[in-house]
C-alpha cells in the first residue's frame, strides 16, 4: 500500500515581524526647494543659509501690481488690477492714489524724460497722460489691450493685443502702426543701448529687433509661448524671460470672446469700481479710497462676469519657463529653465541676474556659471515685477499687491520649514540629525510637529521644544502618519550658519499579515510519482485505484 502525506504552504503578503527603521533625508537643492523660506537662502548645491532680509516696503489695496515705472525723483508708479488704479510710492515707501481708470486693468505705465506719467488701460486699450492727478486721454489707438509701454526719445511705443501690433505715438498723441508681428499679442518692449526697439510676442514666443517702421529681425524664436521680460545690456547682450505651461495665468481674467449674440464679453473680475480720489495716504500702506461710486454709463457695455476663456494646459516634464542669453553675434544660450515654476521678470543686480517666479513669490539670483540661488520667498502668489533702487531690489507681487524690499546685508535671523513627510502609516519617530557649519556667533535650532491630516492644521501637535544637538536628538512629537521639521537660524555678528543635510529616522507601524493564496501539494515516498494538486486540477489516484 502506498502511503500519501499532504503539506500545506501559506503565502503571506505581509510578514508579522518587526518593521525596519526608515530614514527621511533632505540633502539636495530639489529636496529643500519644496519647503518654505523666511530670510533663508538656498544655494544650487543644496545648502541653507541666512539671506537678505525681506521687508514689506509698501502695500496696495488691489490684488495685482501689473507694472512699475521709475520717475526721475526716485518715486515709483504702480499700475494695478482689478480696479484700474495707479499709485505713487515715494522713496520712503509712502503711497498715494494718483488716478482711478474707468477700465479694470492698468497693465502698463511709463514715465517720459520730463517725469510725466502715462498709463495704459485694458480691456478697452487707451493711453492717458497724468499730471498732478489729472488724467487726459493721450491716445485712443483702437486696440483691445495695451500690454507694454516704452519710450525711445520723445516717441512712445506701445505693445498691443489682440492683433499683435507695435504702435508709435508721437508727442502730440498721434498713433501709427510701427510693426505688425502677425502674432496675437506684443507682451513686452525694451530699448537697447543703440536705441533699437525690442519686442516680445505671444503665442509663439518670438523676440523681434525693430530698427525702422515695418523693418524687423527675429532675434530668437523660443520654444515657449510668451516673451515675458526683456533686459538689454550695454555690451549688446539681451536677456529674455520666456513663459510657458501656465501662460494664460496672468491674463486669463481679461481676455474677451464673442458670445452667441455677437457681443464681446470680457472676463474681468467682479469688483466695485471707484472714481479718482486725490486724497494722499501716508505710511507704508495704500489705503482704500474714501468713497466708491459706480462706473459711468458708457462702461455698461463691459460685463464683469468671471468666465475664464483661455485654457491653461500643463504637460508633465515640459519646460514652463526659461531665461535665454542672446549675445551680440545672435548666438543663444539657455541660462536657466524650470518644469515647475513660471518666471515673470528679470533685473540686473551687482553684475548678476535676478529673476522672480510664481511659486510663493520667489526671487532667485543667477550666477555666470548658470547656477541659481533662491535668495528670498515673499510668500505671495507671484512676484510679477523687479525694480532696482539705491536701497535694494524691490519685488512687486500679485494676489496681494505689495512691494517687498531685499535689504542689503544678511538677516540676523530666519527659518526654513520642510515639506510635510508622509510615512504612509502611523510611525514611531526616532531621532532628528543634521550636518551644519556653525561659525562663532551663529546657531541653529530644530523643532518638529506631527499629525494625521495631510496638511498641518489645528489637529496637529504644537512645535516641539528646540533641539540643538547636531549628532541627533530624540523627536518628541507624538506618533502619527505625517511629520514636519523647522530649522531656525540666528547670527549675532553677521556670520551665517549653514545647513547641508537633515534626516529623521522612524519606524512605520506594523501591519497584520494578509493571506493571498493557499497551495496544496501531495508528497509520496521515494520511487513513486509525485503529483501536485491545485484548485483547477483533478485529484490523482494510486495504482490500486484507491483515492489518494
What percentage of the chain exceeds 90 in pLDDT? 64
DSSP state of 21: P
How many whole angstroms separate alpha carbon 424 and alpha carbon 29? 24
Give the 3-state secondary structure of residue 428. Answer: strand
Residues 6+ apart with CB under 8 A from 121: 84, 101, 102, 103, 105, 106, 127, 128, 146
What is the mean pLDDT of the segment spanning 509-538?
A: 57
Lowest mean pLDDT among 44-58, 138-152, 194-208: 44-58
Mean pLDDT of the chain: 81
Residue 346 C-alpha from the chain's centroid:
14
Residue 72 C-alpha from the chain's centroid:
31
Q: What is the pTM of this model?
A: 0.76
With contact defined as beta carbons under 8 Å apart, do 93 and 284 qualify? yes
The beta strand positions in 367-479, using DSSP E, are 372-377, 382-389, 392-398, 402-410, 413-417, 421-437, 442-451, 473-474
Cα torsion 479, 22, 16, 519: sign: positive
With contact defined as beta carbons under 8 Å apart, do 402 and 409 qualify? no
CB-side neighbour CA atoms (13 Å) of 297: 0
pLDDT tens digits for 341-386? 999 999 998 888 999 999 899 999 998 888 899 999 998 989 999 9
Residues 6+ apart with CB under 8 A from 158: 120, 127, 139, 141, 146, 148, 149, 166, 167, 168, 169, 175, 189
Place 522 in a pLDDT band, splitting at 50, 70 and 90: low
Residues 6+ apart with CB under 8 A from 266: 123, 254, 255, 256, 302, 303, 304
What is the mean pLDDT of the segment spanning 200-220?
A: 96
Bridge partner residues of 55 (DSSP):
405
DSSP state of 418: P
Give the 3-state secondary structure of residue 159. Answer: strand
Does the pLDDT of residue 541 top 60, yes or no?
A: no
- Alpha helical stretches, state H, 283-423: none
Place 3 in a pLDDT band, splitting at 50, 70 and 90: very low
Q: Please state whether beta strands 480-491 and 421-437 pair in parallel, antiparallel, or not at all (unpaired).
A: antiparallel
Place of cell 545672435: 330
With contact defined as beta carbons under 8 Å apart, do 220 and 207 qualify? yes
- Picking from 485, 512, 505, the residue whose alpha carbon sits closest to that of residue 427 is 505
Cell of 112: 517720459
> Which pLDDT score is estimated for 523?
57
With contact defined as beta carbons under 8 Å apart, do 144 and 123 qualify? yes
Residues 6+ apart with CB under 8 A from 78: 60, 65, 67, 68, 86, 87, 88, 89, 109, 396, 401, 403
Cell of 111: 514715465
Q: Please state whether beta strands 332-338 and 321-326 pair in parallel, antiparallel, or not at all (unpaired).
A: antiparallel
> Which pLDDT score is estimated for 318?
66
State yes or no: cis peptide before 342, omega within 30 of 0.
no
pLDDT tens digits for 288-336? 333 333 333 333 333 332 323 333 344 445 688 999 999 999 999 999 9
Nearest-5° angle of CA 260, CA 265, CA 271?
145
Amino acid at each position: 500500500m502506498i502511503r500519501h502525506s499532504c503539506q500545506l504552504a501559506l503565502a503571506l503578503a505581509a510578514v508579522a515581524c518587526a518593521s525596519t527603521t526608515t530614514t527621511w533625508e533632505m540633502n539636495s537643492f530639489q529636496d529643500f526647494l519644496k519647503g518654505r523660506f523666511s530670510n533663508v537662502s538656498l544655494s544650487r548645491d543644496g545648502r541653507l543659509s541666512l539671506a537678505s532680509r525681506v521687508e514689506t516696503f509698501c502695500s496696495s489695496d488691489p490684488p495685482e501690481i501689473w507694472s512699475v515705472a521709475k520717475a526721475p525723483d526716485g518715486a515709483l508708479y504702480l499700475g494695478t488690477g482689478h480696479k484700474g488704479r495707479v499709485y505713487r510710492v515715494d522713496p520712503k515707501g509712502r503711497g498715494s492714489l494718483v488716478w482711478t481708470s474707468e477700465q479694470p486693468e492698468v497693465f502698463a505705465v511709463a514715465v517720459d524724460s520730463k517725469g510725466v506719467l502715462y498709463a495704459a488701460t485694458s480691456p478697452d486699450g487707451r493711453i492717458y497722460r497724468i499730471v498732478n492727478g489729472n488724467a487726459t486721454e493721450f491716445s485712443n489707438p483702437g486696440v483691445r489691450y495695451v500690454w507694454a509701454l516704452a519710450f525711445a526719445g520723445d516717441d512712445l511705443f506701445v505693445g498691443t493685443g489682440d492683433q499683435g501690433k507695435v504702435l508709435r505715438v508721437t508727442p502730440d498723441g498721434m498713433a501709427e502702426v510701427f510693426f505688425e508681428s502677425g502674432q496675437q499679442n506684443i507682451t513686452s518692449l525694451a530699448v537697447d543701448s543703440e536705441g533699437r526697439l525690442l519686442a516680445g510676442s505671444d503665442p509663439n514666443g518670438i523676440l523681434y529687433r525693430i530698427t525702422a517702421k515695418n523693418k524687423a529681425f527675429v532675434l530668437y524664436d523660443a520654444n515657449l509661448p510668451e516673451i515675458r521680460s526683456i533686459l538689454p545690456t550695454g555690451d549688446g547682450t539681451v536677456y529674455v524671460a520666456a513663459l510657458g505651461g501656465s501662460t494664460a495665468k496672468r491674463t486669463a481674467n481679461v481676455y474677451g470672446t464673442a458670445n452667441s449674440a455677437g457681443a464681446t464679453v470680457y472676463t474681468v473680475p467682479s469688483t466695485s469700481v471707484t472714481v479718482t480720489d486725490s486724497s494722499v495716504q501716508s505710511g507704508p500702506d495704500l489705503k482704500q479710497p474714501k468713497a466708491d461710486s459706480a462706473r459711468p454709463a458708457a462702461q455698461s457695455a463691459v460685463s464683469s462676469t468671471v468666465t475664464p476663456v483661455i485654457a491653461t494646459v500643463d504637460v508633465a516634464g515640459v519646460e514652463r519657463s526659461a531665461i535665454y542669453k542672446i549675445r551680440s553675434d545672435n548666438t543663444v544660450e539657455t541660462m536657466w529653465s524650470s518644469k515647475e515654476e513660471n518666471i515673470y521678470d528679470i533685473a540686473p543686480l551687482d553684475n548678476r541676474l535676478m529673476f522672480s517666479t510664481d511659486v510663493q513669490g520667489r526671487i532667485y539670483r543667477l550666477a555666470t556659471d548658470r547656477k541659481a540661488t533662491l535668495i528670498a520667498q515673499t510668500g505671495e502668489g507671484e512676484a510679477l515685477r523687479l525694480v532696482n533702487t539705491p536701497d535694494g531690489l524691490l519685488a512687486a507681487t500679485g494676489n496681494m499687491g505689495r512691494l517687498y524690499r531685499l535689504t542689503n546685508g544678511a538677516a540676523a535671523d530666519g527659518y526654513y520649514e520642510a515639506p510635510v513627510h508622509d510615512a504612509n502609516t502611523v510611525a514611531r519617530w526616532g531621532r532628528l540629525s543634521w550636518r551644519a557649519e556653525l561659525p562663532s556667533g551663529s546657531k541653529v535650532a530644530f523643532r518638529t510637529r506631527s499629525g494625521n491630516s495631510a496638511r498641518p492644521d489645528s489637529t496637529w501637535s504644537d512645535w516641539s521644544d528646540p533641539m540643538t544637538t547636531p549628532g541627533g536628538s530624540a523627536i518628541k512629537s507624538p506618533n502619527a502618519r505625517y511629520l514636519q521639521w523647522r530649522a531656525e537660524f540666528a547670527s549675532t555678528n553677521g556670520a551665517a550658519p549653514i545647513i547641508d543635510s537633515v534626516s529623521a529616522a522612524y519606524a512605520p507601524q506594523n501591519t497584520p499579515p494578509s493571506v493571498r493564496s493557499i497551495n496544496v501539494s501531495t508528497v509520496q515516498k521515494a520511487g513513486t510519482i509525485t503529483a501536485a494538486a491545485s484548485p483547477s486540477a483533478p485529484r490523482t489516484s494510486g495504482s490500486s485505484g484507491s483515492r489518494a
